[in-house]
Amino acid sequence: MFQICAARRTPQMTRTLSLFAISVVALFTAGCSSEAGNSNVAKIAAADRTVAAQFAQSNGGIVQSSPINSLTSGAIQQRFFSVPRPAEIVAENTGDLEEALLFAQRATDADPKRQNGGKWIEAAQVGLLFGAPEGKAFLTAPAGRALVRGEPAESCPALNVATAQTDAQATEGAFRACLRQVSALEGCGCRVIARADRLLAERDEFQYAIGVSSLLVDPSTGRQVLMTSEERVIEGRPDVRRLWMLGAAGPIGMLQVEKDGRAAFVFSETGKRYDGSHVEDGFRRGRVARRAYLTAKDGKRLVVLVGFEEAELKENSETLLAWNPFGPIELKKAEAK
């Protein structure tokens, strides 16, 4: 069923987690020396410099999606037109595409001078476009472009950018990629949030947290390490993301997640590796909240939680930390009763 309606307002959590100066020695691995921290910072910086745009083709090769890590000066200087309460243009399946594409066309063709309350804003003011790999790909698109997100965002973790010869082709390509991604998720559709030089969602929905809270947990003891994480894409592997876990002294380790559900974590100091699976739970401040359940060769287990808000961690701590690599949070809650 196609949906187009007035934008709804959802409360945004603005509290951020403070970093605790917790030693990692007694928990999982030896503490990182300053030399090790500097070495890992250099490795991350080197990786950033070498990551190039990678294209995932769809729609017969016409449409291309390209997560990237860096922006050009031309991309940074762009402006986008935003209105206070844009209509939500949502497709729940491919049968809704024709109508969704029509409304997206009308929304971007509307004369800015006749839209009350609308204004042009700088690209640097739009966090999701300036920070997320898909947002950066949107900014650097040479021609037609569109950005489509899973809807509702809190439980539908999909963000798809497409570029093409026209905005119409790009919008269709991004919609189809998103619908494929959420097809197995109950209650999920896809919404176009940006197209050409227009923002089709409220400014609050373009938040993007560069660093988000991350929690490493030893299930056998309940011991926890709280830190922040930063996300990177990998050259040649657009379906893989690396999340560097950062403590007060620098990188503690790296979580790698893949679209097929596989995950691995490696501690920077010792090189000890944990393998397992991960689940995506929707967006929090523009970042995907993730749960990873991992086991080392010696049988030791590790749970990694990324991107959950402080209140959510407190409310759902038992279900989030329960050793169950499968199912959404709602299913885990039901199983815990």
Write the CA distances from 269 to 134, 218, 225, 253, 293, integer angstroms: 31, 18, 15, 8, 21
Domain boundaries, position 114: 56-206
Same domain, 69 and 115: yes
Write the CA distances from 207 to 107, 217, 242, integer angstroms: 22, 28, 20
* Confidence (pLDDT) at 299: 95
Peptide bond preceding 152 in cis form (omega within 30 of 0): yes
Mean pLDDT of 187-194: 96
- Which of 190, 206, 222 terminates a domain? The answer is 206
Question: What confidence category does residue 323 fall into, taking pLDDT thresholds of 50, 70 and 90?
Answer: confident
Same domain, 37 and 165: no
Contact between 291 and 305 under an 8 Å Cβ cutoff? The reply is yes
Beta strands 119-122 and 3-5 are unpaired
120 found inside a domain: yes
DSSP 123-137: GGG-HHHHHSHHHHH
Task: Round to whole Å and give the CA distance between 149 and 182.
Answer: 10
Same domain, 224 and 193: no
Question: What confidence category does residue 144 fall into, taking pLDDT thresholds of 50, 70 and 90?
Answer: very high
Q: What mean pLDDT, rounded, does the chain reach?
A: 79
Task: Round to whole Å and give the CA distance between 66 and 289.
Answer: 22
The count of domains in the chain is: 2
* Confidence (pLDDT) at 21: 32
Question: What is the DSSP code (8-state) at residue 32?
Answer: P
pLDDT tens digits along 191-234: 999 999 999 999 999 999 888 889 999 998 889 988 898 888 77
* Confidence (pLDDT) at 67: 63
Question: What is the DSSP code (8-state) at residue 38?
Answer: H
* Confidence (pLDDT) at 46: 42
- Which of 206, 225, 243 terminates a domain? The answer is 206
